[in-house]
Amino acid sequence: MAVYTDIADTALEHFLEGYPLGRALSFKGIAEGVENSNYLLETERGRFILTLYERRVRAADLPYFLALMEWLARQGFPSARPVARRDGAALGELAGRPAAIITFLPGLAATRPTLPQQRAAGEGLAWLHLAAESFPERRANDLGQSSWAALAAPLAGAADLLEPGLGRAMANDLAVIAAAWPRALPRGVIHADWFPDNVFFRGAAFAGAIDFYFAADDALAYDLGVALNAWAFTAEGRYDSAAAAELVAGYESRRPLSAEERRALPLLARGAALRFFLTRLADWGARREGALVRPKDPLEYAARLSFHRSGGLKL
Amino acid sequence: MAVYTDIADTALEHFLEGYPLGRALSFKGIAEGVENSNYLLETERGRFILTLYERRVRAADLPYFLALMEWLARQGFPSARPVARRDGAALGELAGRPAAIITFLPGLAATRPTLPQQRAAGEGLAWLHLAAESFPERRANDLGQSSWAALAAPLAGAADLLEPGLGRAMANDLAVIAAAWPRALPRGVIHADWFPDNVFFRGAAFAGAIDFYFAADDALAYDLGVALNAWAFTAEGRYDSAAAAELVAGYESRRPLSAEERRALPLLARGAALRFFLTRLADWGARREGALVRPKDPLEYAARLSFHRSGGLKL
């Protein structure tokens, strides 16, 4: 959760002149999205989210993300969608940063998902995979398996600082995962960040997803591996096999896994745990004084990694 | 701006059962209010602000603040008002803290107020003073002039750390202000925090005020002194006499100052600068690692204080 940038009202007014949305009636920074600044914007035409793209998200990738959201919404998937500027563009500039206005997606994130919500979260992920099937644009996953060795290289020392011996365990994980990584699973657009704060519900029903700023082409079942780490552990870090079963069952209610995908799932989840451990460790090392964002604890994902290393995930 | 507390969706659901507002449709932490956690809450009945009262605001004072907001709204003043619980109470408990649901007040804060907005801000403050005239409840201003010596006592060292010699200058300010402080000015309910982020506009028109959590009984013109420090200096700290003139003229368009009030205004503004300098200095010393709030810079108000010390304010 983060709001990084103060926006002058005059700058906002000028930015809004590029949109057919009328004047601003209300504008509040919201604690949503780790990488960007988000604001709830109410205009004479309704409610919207204004997003300023800060670090990490590369400006060159933004048209892909916005086009994907638009595509998904057109396929009937409940995604917020970018509002087009008067000149047709989805992207503008505000406070020196790329900026977009997105429709407001109602729904509540689940801080402690119930079993029906787990099922709905799995179902929503499969729905996303199917809805994006014919999306014509391509984006390589720059945080996919082939990137992890380079990501890990400068972090061995930091890992050992966090917990003695963790650097060596991490190097071993990297090698084991690289050797066994499946190359022939069904691929498509993955969300790549299917965490509870990015999934909205209305009651127990799936109501939509946000934050597509890691979406890319990769193995679809890898996305389910990411989700298993994010959903099937309690706040205390204990594996919840009932939650995992519901998540997978919900997924398969829309898109059944092949035998290969199911067999690969423990390894995919182990790789996903390594990926989030690595980026959290990097963020932890680079945390800034005075920032309004708390880096997420890398130890949470070190524990997931250790769980998978010992073959904990049985589905 | 701050969001301190994560609220579990189950806790929110349970809290909402106490209100006739239906179910939650959307819930987002917002970056508003320095002392409390604020969330934008959308339910089946509309949009609201949910406030969790964190530190500094004393629970015993909350009924006063909420009654004042309700009173002001009934007098036609554009204030958000508390929503009554099914049992009639304005205050509930959530996540172990006192909590209230307040109506949503549309409007935009001005980051760089225009002259017409300065005038409207002054007019709004006078309107507040008049609307609260017959408010029956009393609250002594625990951050009023008589409290400043005790507030300053432990901070001389911190002041000198901030800027050598500042501790002595502060002690001198305290003595000068105490000796000359006017005791017979018209009193009433003051907002006591009339800063640009607490005042909403629609275009150049005053649209309402929020954050009444410092409101108390004190000299009305002191409130204008607080506002002069908050509004009549540029972001770079330069005094803007045109802005000050508009602010005061707007105030007087609704409530003309007496000759005594006008004469006292430079001293009242000097006292107000000291008050905000002292609390910012205390917050600065007590800032917490990992908090999502940036303490406001005490040097900004050290500069205001120095401005008033040299008799800069001429109206």
- Residues from chain A that touch B23, judged by Cβ atoms under 8 A, are 203
The 10s digit of each residue's pLDDT in B193-239 is: 999 999 999 999 999 999 999 999 999 999 999 999 999 999 889 99
Helices (H), chain A: 9-16, 62-74, 115-131, 148-152, 156-162, 166-180, 220-231, 241-254, 259-285, 298-309
Q: What is the pLDDT of residues A103-115, one digit of tens each?
A: 999 999 998 999 9
pLDDT digits (tens, 9 = 90+) for B154-176: 999 989 988 899 999 999 999 99
Q: Is B5 exposed, middle or buried (0-12, 13-18, 19+ CB in 10 A)?
A: middle
Contact B37, B4 (CB under 8 A): yes
What is the band of A1 on the pLDDT scale with cuts at 50, 70, 90? very low
Taking an 8 Å cut-off on Cβ atoms, the answer to whether B203 and A23 are in contact is: yes
* Whether the predicted pLDDT of B99 surpasses 60: yes
Q: Is the pLDDT of residue B244 over 70?
A: yes
Smallest Cβ distance to B26: which of A3, A7, A106? A106
Q: What is the pLDDT of residue B292?
A: 47
Looking at the predicted structure, is the pLDDT value of residue A126 above 80? Answer: yes
End-to-end Cα, chain B, rounded Å: 32
- Tell me the pLDDT tens digit for each residue of B8-48: 888 999 999 999 999 999 999 998 766 788 999 999 999 99
Q: Which two tokens stand for residue A260?
A: 């290969």
With residues binned 3-state (H G I as helix, E B as strand, rest as coil), the percentages for chain B, rounded to 5, are: 45, 20, 35
Dig out the tokens for A310 from the structure.
């010992």
Percent of chain B clearing pLDDT 90 (strictly above): 82
| Residue in B closest to A8 by C-alpha | B111
What pLDDT does residue B287 have? 61
pLDDT tens for A22-35 read: 999 999 999 876 67
Q: What is the pLDDT of residues A51-82, one digit of tens each?
A: 999 877 788 999 999 999 999 999 999 999 99
Q: What is the model's pTM? A: 0.84
Is pLDDT of A160 > 60? yes
Give the confidence band of A291 by pLDDT, cuts at 50, 70, 90: very low
Strand partners, B209: B79, B199
Tell me the count of A-B CB pairs closer than 8 A. 89
Asked whether residue B289 carries a pLDDT value surpassing 50, the answer given is no
Using CB atoms, pick whichever of A10, A25, A111 lies closest to residue B6: A111
Q: CB B109 to CB A9 under 8 A?
A: yes
Q: What is the predicted pLDDT for the residue at A19?
A: 97
Q: What is the mean pLDDT of residues A118-128?
A: 98
Is residue A295 over pLDDT 80? no
Interface predicted TM-score (ipTM) of this complex, two decimals: 0.78
